[in-house]
A = this chain, B = another copy of it.
């Protein structure tokens, strides 16, 4: 009964999140030998001033930000 937390930067669409949870559930069922109904996936969208890489907040480095179309 896998419980997954996925931390991603803000800016993804619902379509991207829908594709991700569908395929990630398939991977878990196939590799862990579990049924889909037992899989839970929590997405944590991090605001750009709440995630830092190499000591720099994403809000301070436009090259690290997700482009919204």
Binding site for B on A (CB under 8 A): 1-9, 12, 14, 16-28, 30-33, 36-46, 49-57, 59-60, 64
Contact = CB atoms under 8 A, between A and B. Distances in A.
A22 to B, nearest CB: 5
Nearest to A46: B42
**Which secondary structure dominates where chain A touches chain B?**
mixed
A4 B5 contact: yes
Q: Which of A16, A18, A33 gathers the greatest number of chain B CB atoms within 10 Å?
A: A18
B20 A31 contact: yes
A58 to B, nearest CB: 9
A61 B18 CA distance: 12
A32 B55 contact: no
